[in-house]
């Protein structure tokens, strides 16, 4: 079983070297020598603290081990500038947006870029996902008692995100059963700058990135990813690293959901200093992808030992897992996975007499091996530990056999399909499109409403230009 640990909230997984150093000093003052990272980019303390110990953390937002109604915000700020990203979503934009969220949230909030693969998109109750329109986000909702994730019927303006999330928390007492009800309740409660959804969210498939070691960032800077396989980061090392960050005027350190962290903006002329610092500390920055692409429950020795056993088998057989991610978990009816392949440990049956029972496992994999599909296929059930390496290698081979097939099929289908001409009405002031198929949910105009049937006082949902500013145009799709 996984332990419940005290958590330090780290909004968006982003903190300054000064903040991390303060956390380290507070942890050190109560006799602890290490910290760990959680899957929601928070910091976990290695043992439950007494009430008097928590007074050392007065400047921090601490969630005690038995407190379950405070959640950390997850963000893909860690990926900004170092992995593929939506053009308008810069690191600074993330920081401005995260600054909105000041109050404690009881819901899990994700703020992510669909063009990166390091941070999962749909593991929150409230999932903001960047659209192609600058400063507008798709919103996917899955409340704690919902079985499926549903798209909110409007794009959310960047500076309304916290307001809308707070409004959703406030309507939970109404026990909304669908996203349409949430939309109506939120629209009645607050004024927003929503924009009509004009196309479905597309989430391209990207292989899981290698995120360790010293890597070039632009022309004259580097970024450093660090991973320790036991997820126990030495306090003295972190304090010294924070001091080095301050000397190099590095403003942010970012935690990943994979029990690692990233330091961006290391100056080129300081690269050797950093490499010497890591070398003197004996830090390994060359783990193979076999190590980095696993997600394990924190402080679970059985899961860590199982991972070591499986990775050793992969290594001995020279197996490539590039692009795949793996998770080890215990069976739960409400599990929400975010890895390509899941090793699920079954619950032990009740003991009868002195008989010992063996552990058994299920193997699942995401549709197309892409966890963003949120659909999982059961590969095998109730198998022994010794069978897992061979079965995982079998799944790895299946992944490479199928890799690219879906994309090729889409290209072929697109080539066969003739160009489609789509008539829409476009605002000549800001180029916002009114598509009769979608209507304009921001102004309570239902889908399939003909433009000519709109009232004469209809205004552009974005710039409020009059109806007369719209002209019919033909788009080629």
Strand order through the sheet with 213-217: 14-15, 253-255, 260-267, 221-227, 213-217
Least trusted range by pLDDT, from 172-176, 335-339, 373-377? 335-339
* pLDDT at site 1: 38
The answer to whether position 412 is within a domain reads no
CATH number of residue 330's parent domain? 3.30.413
Least trusted range by pLDDT, from 58-67, 171-180, 187-196, 266-275? 58-67
Same domain, 359 and 453: no
* pLDDT at site 205: 84
Range of the domain at 227: 1-121+203-287
Last residue of a domain, one of 233, 258, 287: 287
Query: For residues 258 and 211, is the Cβ–Cβ distance under 8 A?
Result: yes
Same domain, 79 and 221: yes
The answer to whether position 158 is within a domain reads no
> Under DSSP, is residue 365 helix (H, G, I), strand (E, B) or coil?
strand
pLDDT confidence band for 270 (50 / 70 / 90): very high
Same domain, 401 and 465: no
pLDDT confidence band for 413 (50 / 70 / 90): very low
* pLDDT at site 10: 93
The answer to whether position 179 is within a domain reads no
Q: What is the mean pLDDT of the chain?
A: 87
Query: For residues 168 and 199, is the Cβ–Cβ distance under 8 A?
Result: no
**Cα 2 versus chain centre, distance:** 21
The answer to whether position 184 is within a domain reads no
pLDDT tens profile 136-182:
999 999 998 898 999 999 999 999 999 999 999 999 988 898 999 99
CATH number of residue 42's parent domain? 3.90.480.10
Query: For residues 364 and 378, is the Cβ–Cβ distance under 8 A?
Result: yes
Instruction: Spell out the residues 6+ positions from residue 110 whose beta carbon is closer than 8 angstroms to its own.
Output: 73, 74, 75, 119, 120, 121, 122, 123, 124, 126, 127, 128, 129
**Residues composing the chain:** 477
Last residue of a domain, one of 252, 287, 322: 287
Same domain, 431 and 453: yes
Helices (H) and strands (E) in the chain, counts: 10, 24
* pLDDT at site 142: 94
Last residue of a domain, one of 269, 287, 305: 287
CATH number of residue 435's parent domain? 2.20.28.10
pLDDT confidence band for 415 (50 / 70 / 90): very low
In the chain, the number of structural domains is: 3
The answer to whether position 278 is within a domain reads yes
Same domain, 326 and 390: yes
**Cα gap 271→268, rounded to integer Å:** 5
Same domain, 266 and 345: no
Same domain, 265 and 321: no
Helices (H), 82-214: 91-100, 161-170, 179-189
């Amino acid at each position: 079983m996984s332990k419940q640990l005290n958590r330090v909230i780290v909004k968006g997984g982003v903190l300054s070297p000064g903040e991390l150093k303060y956390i380290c000093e507070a942890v050190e003052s109560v006799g602890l020598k290490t910290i760990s990272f959680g899957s929601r980019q928070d910091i976990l303390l290695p043992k439950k603290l007494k009430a008097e110990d928590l007074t050392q953390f007065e400047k921090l937002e601490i969630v005690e081990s038995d407190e379950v109604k405070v959640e950390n915000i997850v963000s893909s700020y860690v990926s900004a500038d170092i992995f593929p990203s939506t053009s308008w979503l810069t690191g600074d934009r993330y920081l401005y947006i995260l600054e909105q969220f000041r109050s404690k949230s009881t819901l899990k909030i994700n703020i992510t870029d669909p063009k990166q693969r390091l941070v999962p998109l749909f593991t929150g109750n409230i999932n903001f996902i960047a659209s192609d329109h600058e400063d507008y986000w798709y919103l996917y909702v899955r409340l704690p008692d919902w079985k499926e994730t549903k798209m909110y019927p409007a794009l959310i303006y960047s500076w309304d995100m916290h307001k809308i999330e707070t409004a959703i928390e406030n309507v939970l007492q109404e026990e909304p059963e669908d996203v349409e009800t949430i939309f109506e309740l939120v629209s009645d409660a607050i004024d927003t700058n929503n924009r009509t959804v004009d196309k479905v969210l597309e989430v391209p498939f990207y292989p899981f990135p290698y995120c360790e070691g010293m890597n070039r960032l632009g022309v004259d800077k580097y970024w450093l990813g660090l991973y320790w396989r036991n997820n126990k980061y030495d306090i003295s090392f972190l304090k010294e690293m924070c001091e080095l960050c301050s000397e190099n005027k590095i403003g942010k350190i970012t935690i990943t959901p994979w029990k690692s962290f990233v330091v961006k903006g290391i100056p080129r002329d300081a690269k050797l200093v950093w490499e010497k610092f890591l070398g003197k500390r004996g830090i390994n920055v060359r783990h193979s992808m076999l190590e980095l692409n696993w997600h394990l429950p924190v402080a679970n020795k059985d899961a860590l030992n199982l991972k070591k056993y499986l990775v050793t088998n992969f290594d001995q057989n020279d197996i490539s897992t590039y692009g795949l991610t793996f998770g080890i978990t215990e069976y739960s009816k409400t599990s929400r996975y975010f890895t390509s392949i899941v090793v699920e440990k079954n619950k032990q049956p009740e003991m009868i007499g002195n008989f010992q029972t063996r552990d058994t496992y299920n193997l699942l994999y995401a549709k197309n091996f892409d966890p963003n599909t949120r659909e999982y296929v059961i590969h095998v059930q109730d198998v022994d530990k010794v069978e897992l390496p061979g079965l995982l290698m079998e799944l790895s081979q299946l992944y490479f056999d199928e890799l690219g097939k879906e994309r090729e099929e889409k290209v072929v289908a697109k080539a066969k399909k003739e160009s489609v001409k789509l008539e829409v009405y476009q605002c000549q002031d800001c180029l916002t499109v009114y598509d009769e198929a979608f209507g304009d949910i921001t102004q309570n105009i239902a889908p399939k409403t003909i433009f000519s049937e709109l009232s004469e006082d209809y205004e552009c949902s974005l710039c409020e230009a009059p109806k007369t500013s719209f002209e019919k145009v033909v788009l080629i799709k």
